[in-house]
Structure 1
Amino acid sequence: MIRLYTDDLNVGYGDHLIVKDLTVEIPDKKITTIIGSNGCGKSTLLKAITRIISPQSGAVVLDGKHISKENTKKLAKKMAILPQNPESASGLTVGELVSYGRFPYQKGFGRLTKKDFEVIDWALEVTGTIDFKFRSVDALSGGQRQRVWIAMALAQETEMILLDEPTTYLDMAHQLEVLELLQKLNEEQERTIVMVLHDLNQAARFADYIIALKDGEIIKAGACEEVINHHVLKKVFQIDAEIGWDPRTNKPMCITYNLIKGEEKNEQTISDRIPAGIRAYS
């Protein structure tokens, strides 16, 4: 079942088009990661999907409706977004910031209910930030702040969570904690997760579906083994990658790579010209 998709989406800033005629389906109740080099349109696509920016043409459709026409609170009950650079939370405590995730459920004067406080504490617990509840956000480290922002997105209790580079500022252990948390939410609560990641091996390890972008266009979208391979990575990143298999997940992983330079960068090998549907994995 596909609840969320884009149809011939064009997004840009002024005369500069970032995302071009992009049509993509987001698998429901799965984890999707978006990969690509800097400036390829990953964040722009995420912002368009969540209505942070409006497309120049085309549409984003959720549950059969264009999100541009959806009521804001109704949309906020269906999808939460954690942007790459969240707005400043200066002067707020951690608990106050996370409470903003309850906005779609508030009525009247916006007072928090018993259910709201329970959800806030749950979000703080699962992100390991409950001990910071009464501390100022300004006093936290970059990694701690990132986990608090994720807690706010979780407190929104949406069916879909979209995250732009959620592991930014985190060390290796905390990166793994965040990604395992998102995986747990997907597996146990069937939440649809869409996230932009730079680490190819993290993308392969945690994703059910990967979208590889270059210059605002999809080079390949599909299962991990269809995207994390020599041919796709060459086109997307201009690298010559050696691909192996992760012994713990049995998923592909990038073992090492070299930059492709000079004329070789623009060469198209015979194997590159073979249709993707019949190309052998390498």
Structure 2
Amino acid sequence: MARLYTEDLSIGYGERLIVKTLSVQIPDKKITTIIGSNGCGKSTLLKAMTRIISHQGGTVILDGESISKENTKVLARKMAILPQTPESASGLTVGELVSYGRFPYQSGLGRLTKKDYEAIDWALEVTGTKEFKYRPVDALSGGQRQRVWIAMALAQETEIIFLDEPTTYLDLAHQLEVLELLQKLNVEQDRTIVMVLHDLNQAARFADYMIALKDGQVVKAGRCEDVMKPDVLKKVFQIDAEIGRDPRTNKPMCITYNLAKGE
């Protein structure tokens, strides 16, 4: 059994359910990517699994316990999330922003300890942002800022990291830079990575496990080879796709596609 999974999870806003009786497992120490069209419930699922929003039914289980019963600081030591649109860091230096990742470990006085500073420096080092430590976050490029936000998540020292579209608004080089960093964290430090990605080929290239959603339900979950199939993509995206192999990674990739006829 996986450390993290949902059972019959239902999530909504008001009376409208976005995710309906959803049961998924997140493989330990692997990279999981979630794909689906806009509004299908991808971001909503991430928020519920990290307790940013509440759910109307079912449960999210982590280490055998419902996360709804977990102490907030204890939960924040187990999982971190980088939302799709991080809050403004205006007026903060890089080091100050990354230090916020140490909140779950701080006492009532809120003072940083030697261990906190060591964790901050390590997070800056591993994300290649140490040289920016004293620079304003606002002065960085989009790719640099994204790496700093990831550094803040890493400073939490959690084994599970959620990221909602971490490559949004980045150019191709910076997209690859961020995804390769996350892959390195997974391979070298056994971090469990869960991320929503729009680009199908990036999702397949960097994932060990994929979850395809449509209207708040799982269409297919499993290995990339099982999810990146024409029938699955037709159901999820209403496209008629040609699937081949990436010549560099041997992962499945969408070569081309048309709108599915009759859809």
TM range (shorter): over 0.9
- Residues in 2 aligned to 1:161 and 1:61: alpha-carbon distance in whole angstroms: 16
Question: How far apart are residue 259 of structure 1 and its match?
Answer: 1.4
- Residues in 2 aligned to 1:38 and 1:86: alpha-carbon distance in whole angstroms: 19
Higher mean Cα deviation, 16-25 or 101-110? 101-110
Letter in 2 for 1:36: G
- Residues in 1 aligned to 2:217 and 2:64: alpha-carbon distance in whole angstroms: 24
Higher mean Cα deviation, 39-48 or 177-186? 177-186
Question: How far apart are residue 3 of structure 1 and its match?
Answer: 0.5
Question: How far apart are residue 99 of structure 1 and its match?
Answer: 0.4
Question: How far apart are residue 177 of structure 1 and its match?
Answer: 1.6
Q: Secondary structure at the match of 2:175?
A: helix
CA contact (8 A) 1:124 1:148 kept: yes
Higher mean Cα deviation, 105-114 or 214-223? 105-114
Percent of aligned positions that are identical: 83
- Which residue in 2 is equivalent to 1:228? 228
Query: Is 1:142 aligned to residue 142 of structure 2?
Result: yes
Letter in 1 for 2:169: Y
Letter in 2 for 1:23: S
Question: How far apart are residue 240 of structure 1 and its match?
Answer: 0.7
- Residues in 1 aligned to 2:129 and 2:187: alpha-carbon distance in whole angstroms: 22
- Residues in 2 aligned to 1:16 and 1:130: alpha-carbon distance in whole angstroms: 45
Aligned residues: 263
Question: How far apart are residue 140 of structure 1 and its match?
Answer: 2.4
Q: Which runs of 4+ in 1 moved over 3 A?
A: none
- Which residue in 2 is equivalent to 1:271? none
Q: Secondary structure at the match of 2:24?
A: strand
Letter in 1 for 2:27: P
Query: Is 1:117 aligned to residue 110 of structure 2?
Result: no
- Residues in 1 aligned to 2:59 and 2:163: alpha-carbon distance in whole angstroms: 20
- Give CA deviations for 1:75-129 in whole Å, capped at 9, x if unaligned: 0110000000111112111110000001111124122122222221221222222
- Which residue in 1 is equivalent to 2:99? 99
- Which residue in 2 is equivalent to 1:160? 160
CA contact (8 A) 1:93 1:134 kept: yes
Letter in 2 for 1:181: L
Structure with the greater alpha carbon radius of gyration: 1
Letter in 2 for 1:105: Y
Q: Secondary structure at the match of 1:2?
A: coil
- Which residue in 2 is equivalent to 1:54? 54
CA contact (8 A) 1:51 1:67 kept: yes
- Give CA deviations for 1:200-253 in whole Å, capped at 9, x if unaligned: 111111111000001111000000000001110000000111100112211100
Question: How far apart are residue 131 of structure 1 and its match?
Answer: 2.0
- Which residue in 1 is equivalent to 2:8? 8
- Which residue in 2 is equivalent to 1:269? none
CA contact (8 A) 1:146 1:168 kept: no
Extract unaligned runs of 5+ from structure 2. none
Letter in 1 for 2:217: E
- Which residue in 2 is equivalent to 1:66? 66
Query: Is 1:189 aligned to residue 206 of structure 2?
Result: no
- Residues in 1 aligned to 2:242 and 2:204: alpha-carbon distance in whole angstroms: 14
- Residues in 1 aligned to 2:204 and 2:142: alpha-carbon distance in whole angstroms: 25
- Residues in 2 aligned to 1:177 and 1:146: alpha-carbon distance in whole angstroms: 10
Extract unaligned runs of 5+ from structure 1. 266-282
- Which residue in 2 is equivalent to 1:255? 255
Higher mean Cα deviation, 106-115 or 58-67? 106-115
Letter in 2 for 1:193: I
- Which residue in 2 is equivalent to 1:205? 205
- Residues in 1 aligned to 2:138 and 2:31: alpha-carbon distance in whole angstroms: 31
